[in-house]
Structure 1
Amino acid sequence: MKHILTVLVLLLTLITSACSEDKAVVTYELILDKSTLNLTIGEKSIINVVEAPATNEPVVWTSDNETVASVFYGNVTALAGGTAIITATVGDYSAQCEVVVPEPEYQLVWEDNFDGTTLNDDNWTIEVNGNGGGNQELQYYTDRPENVRLEDGCLVLEARKEPYSGKQYTSGRIISKNKQDFTYGKMEARLKVPHGKGTWPAFWMLGYGSWPRCGEIDIMEHVGYDPKTFHCALHTQNKNGMNGQNVHGEQTLDNDVADEFHVLTMEWVQNEFMGYDRIHIYVDGVETKTFGETTQLQDSGDWPFNDRFYFILNLAIGGNWGGAQGVDDSMFNEPVLFKVDYVKVYQLK
C-alpha cells in the first residue's frame, strides 16, 4: 500500500510540474529584439518580433514620424535626421523601438562672400549678351560696373533703363561655369531682390550640355508683379518651361520679399529615400518644396541631377514670365538692385 501511495504522489507531482511548465510558455507580451536603433540617413535595418501572444492576428507596423524613418514589415529605412518611434502591434499588445537618425553633418567646401572691390574671376564669368536669356527678356547684359560690381560686401547686379546695343534696358549676369561646379550638397545664398513690376532676379544652377537635357535647378526665382512670393523649379528634357511641364514650388511670405535679405537654400541629397536622390528648397530655413527622383524619371531622362552643376545669378527685365504684366518704368526712379551677400556650398563629411 505504501508503494502505491508513493507512486500516486510521484505521478501527481509530475502532472503538476508539467502543467506549470505549460503555463510558463504561454506569453501575454509582445517583445522585439531591439528597443533602440541608431541609423544614418539612407541606412536600413530589420526589427524582429522575438515573442508574441498566441494569435492568428498579423503584426501591424507603424512609424510615428515617417519623414524620419519608415517601416515595412519590420524593415526600417532612415530618411532624415530626427527621432521616430516604430510600433509593432498584435491585437491589444504592442511594443516599441526608438529610431534615432543623426542630422547630416555638412562642412563648408566653397564660398564667395563678395568682399573687396573686384569680382573673383577664379569663381565667376560676367556674361555679355543681349540674347534675351531664351525667354524674350528685354535687357542687355554688360560687364560694366554700372551693371555688375562689388559694393559694401555684396555682389550688386543693377538693372537700368537706358538704350544699349539695340535694347532699352541693361543689367548683369554672372556664371560659375567651368570654374566652380558641384554635385550634391547644400547650396546657399543670402540675397535681397529688387522691388518693381517687370523684374525677374534668379539664383539657379545648370548642368553641362544642351538645355533642357542638361537639367536646370531654379533655387530662387522672383517676379516683381508677385511681390510676396519666391519660386523654385526643376527643368528637364521632357518637363521644362517651354512645354509648361516643369515641376515647381512656391513660398509666399507675409511681406514683400524685396523688403529685406533672405537665405535661400537647396539641399541636394544622394540616395536619401529608398536609394533615390531628393532635392529640398528652403526660404529662411522653412521648406518650400521637395523634388524626388523616381525610376520613371530616370527611364525618361528626366532626372539629370546626378552630375556637376554650376551657378548663375542674374537680374532680368521683362521676358515671358517676368514681363507677363508689363514693366513699370517708374521703378527706375530709384536704383533697381539685386544684392547677394554670399554664396556657399557645404557637402557631407
Structure 2
Amino acid sequence: MRRPRWITPRGVLALSGWAALAATLLPAGGPLRVALTAAFLLVCPGFALLLRARPTPAPLATRPGRTATAALVVALSTSASLLVAVPLFLGGAFTVARALAVLAALTTALVLLPRRRRAVPEPWKRAPEEHGPQGSEPRRAAAPVPERPGSPSGSPSGSLPGSPSGRGTARRQAAGLSVAVLLLLSTACAGALTSSGRPLTADPEPSDTPGRLGTPAPTDQPVAPGPWHQVFRDDFDGTTLNASDWVTCYDWVLGGGCTNAGNGEEEWYQPGQVEVSDGVLTLNAQRGKQHGSDGRTYPWASGMVSTGRDSYSGTPRHTFTYGYFAAAVNVPAEPAGFFPAFWLIPAATRGTPPELDIAEFPNTNQYLDMNLHWRTPDGNDAHVGRRYGPAEFASGYHVLALDWERDSVTWYVDGVERFKVADPSQVPNVAMELVINLAVGYLQSPPPTVDTAQLHVQWVGVWQH
C-alpha cells in the first residue's frame, strides 16, 4: 500500500511553510511558535532550492559533505528570506505572516512542481563492479564510463561524489553558490539604496513643495475593518485653534499652564505656543525661563492640545470610548531632548492607567513607540508595547492610527498594521480624552545649541462603528 504523497519527506517539506504560518496564530513568544517559525526560515526554503537545482543533493555520507550541504541550505534559506522581506518592507507592506505566506508558497512550488528532466550523459557513474560497498551510491546497472579526451585510458572523466576530489568539488560548488547568492543580495540592496538615496526605510519621499511641510499620506480614512462613521475631525483650516474642540493643557491646568511632573519634564505648557495657519497645527517648543503657577521655574515653554477640560472641575470638550483615531504628523527635525506624543488619557480619573499611546517619539525621529497601559487586579501599572522603525518621521507627514475595539487594540503606521494587543483583560473600557503634545527634557535635555522645535499636525480624525 503506497503512502500518501504528503507524508513523504518532500510532502512534509512542502507543508512546512504553511505549518509555520499557522503557528503565527499561537501566542507571541510561545516556544512552539518560535521553534516552527525558526526551523522553517533557517532550513526549508534553502533545502527546497537545493532539491530543485540538484535532485540528488550532495554527498551526505561523509562529514564534510554534510557540513557543506547544511551550510549551503542555511545560506540559501537566509538569502531567500531577505529577498522576500526587503521588498515587502520597502513597499510598507511587511508583516511576519505575509512574508511567511510568500516563502511557504515558494517552498511548496519548488518541491511539488514537476522538474523537467533532460537525457544527459552521467559520466560520474561507475560500472557496478567498480562501485563497491564503500561507495556513496547503491549498486545499480550503468553503462561503461566514457573516456575523457586526453586522459589516460580507463580513467573516468569525472570524480565520484564520495571520493576526496568529489568532496572538494562539492565544497567549491557550495562556496561558489553561496558567494553568488550573497552577491545577488548585495546587488539588490545596493540598488534599493541607490534608487532611494537613503537607508532602507518604509518612509515616503520628502516633499520639495514649499508652504506645507511634506505631502500627507493618502490613508486619511480608516484602514481597519468597518463600517465606520466619523465623529470628530479637524483639518486646521482656520487661523486659530477651535476652542470648542480643544484646550491647551491637561485636566490639572493651573493658572493657564501645566506640565507633566511625573515624567520630570522641563516644559511649561502655554496657549501661546500653539499655532494654527496654512492648514497646519504647530506646537512650538522654545527655550526660555517660564515661571509656572506651581511655584517652579521651567527652562522651556511648549505647546499641547487636548479634547479635555479647561479647568479641573470643567467638562471635557470630547471623550471617546472605542473607535479609530488617526492624525497626520510631522515630528521635530532635532529629536534629542524632545518627546512628541499622540495618545489617549482617561477622562474621569484625570490620570493613568489605563493609557493608550498611539505614537510616542522619546528623543528620536527614527523610531515610534506604541504602548498600552492597564491596571492589574492588585492595582499596579502594567504595560505592553512595541517599537517600529527606522523611518524618516521628520520628513513629510505620516499617518499614525489606532483601532480601539472592545477586545483588541491595533496600531497602524501609514495604513499598515504594526502592532496588536488581543487580550481583552488589557483593553481599556473607559471614556478617554485625545492628547497631542510636545514635551521637553524627558530622560535628557536638548543640546545647548538647540533653542526651538516644532511638532506639526495636518489633520486629526476619530471614527466609530
CA distance in structure 1 between the aligned counterparts of 2:389 and 2:24, rounded to whole angstroms: 23
Equivalent residue for 2:412, pick from 271, 274, 282: 282
Q: CA offset at residue 133 of structure 1? A: 4.2
Please list, as runs of the form range in 1=range in 2, the aligned pairs for 1:177-256 lying within 5 A after superposition: 177=308, 178-196=316-334, 197-210=336-349, 214-224=353-363, 226-238=364-376, 245-253=382-390, 255-256=391-392
Instruction: Tell me the secondary structure at the aligned position of residue 134 of structure 1.
Output: helix
1:167 aligns with 2:298: yes
CA distance in structure 1 between the aligned counterparts of 2:319 and 2:381, rounded to whole angstroms: 27
CA RMSD of aligned residues (A): 2.8
Distance 1:310 1:235, change over 3 A: same
Instruction: Tell me the secondary structure at the aligned position of residue 241 of structure 2.
Output: coil
CA distance in structure 1 between the aligned counterparts of 2:24 and 2:403, rounded to whole angstroms: 15
Q: CA offset at residue 214 of structure 1? A: 4.9
Long gaps (5+) in structure 2: 1-18, 26-223, 250-255, 292-296, 309-315
Distance 1:122 1:278, change over 3 A: same
1:262 alignment partner in structure 2: 398
Distance 1:341 1:228, change over 3 A: same
Length-normalised TM-score, structure 1 = 0.60
Please list, as runs of the form range in 1=range in 2, the aligned pairs for 1:1-349 lying within 5 A after superposition: 103-127=225-249, 128-144=256-272, 147-165=273-291, 166-177=297-308, 178-196=316-334, 197-210=336-349, 214-224=353-363, 226-238=364-376, 245-253=382-390, 255-270=391-406, 277-294=407-424, 297=425, 302-303=426-427, 305-320=428-443, 323=444, 326-332=445-451, 335-348=452-465
Superposed CA offset, 1:9-33 (max 9, x none): xxxxxxxxxxxxxxxxxxxxxxxxx
Instruction: Tell me the secondary structure at the aligned position of residue 450 of structure 2.
Output: helix
Q: CA offset at residue 131 of structure 1? A: 3.6
Q: CA offset at residue 290 of structure 1? A: 0.5
Whichever structure has more helix as a proportion of its residues is 2
Amino acid across the alignment from 2:447: D
CA distance in structure 2 between the aligned counterparts of 1:212 and 1:164, rounded to whole angstroms: 24
Amino acid across the alignment from 2:341: A
CA distance in structure 1 between the aligned counterparts of 2:420 and 2:355, rounded to whole angstroms: 15
* Contact 2:375 2:381 (8 Å CA) reproduced: no
Q: CA offset at residue 308 of structure 1? A: 1.4
Instruction: Tell me the secondary structure at the aligned position of residue 369 of structure 2.
Output: strand
Superposed CA offset, 1:227-268 (max 9, x none): 3101111122249xxx88421111103x43212210001011
Whichever structure has more strand as a proportion of its residues is 1
Identical residues among aligned pairs (%): 28
Distance 1:209 1:250, change over 3 A: same
* Contact 2:286 2:453 (8 Å CA) reproduced: yes
* Contact 2:362 2:442 (8 Å CA) reproduced: no
Distance 1:211 1:143, change over 3 A: closer
1:87 alignment partner in structure 2: none
Name which structure has the greater RCO, CA cutoff 8 Å, separation 6+. 1
* Contact 1:231 1:249 (8 Å CA) reproduced: yes
Any runs of at least 4 consecutive aligned residues in structure 1 with deviations exceeding 4 A, and if so which? 64-68, 211-214
CA distance in structure 1 between the aligned counterparts of 2:226 and 2:236, rounded to whole angstroms: 28
Length-normalised TM-score, structure 2 = 0.46
Amino acid across the alignment from 2:461: K
CA distance in structure 2 between the aligned counterparts of 1:119 and 1:293, rounded to whole angstroms: 37
Instruction: Tell me the secondary structure at the aligned position of residue 449 of structure 2.
Output: helix
Distance 1:170 1:285, change over 3 A: same
Long gaps (5+) in structure 1: 1-61, 69-101, 271-276
Amino acid across the alignment from 2:389: T
Amino acid across the alignment from 1:313: I
CA distance in structure 2 between the aligned counterparts of 1:261 and 1:228, rounded to whole angstroms: 13
Distance 1:133 1:227, change over 3 A: same
Amino acid across the alignment from 1:167: Y
Aligned pairs, how many? 229
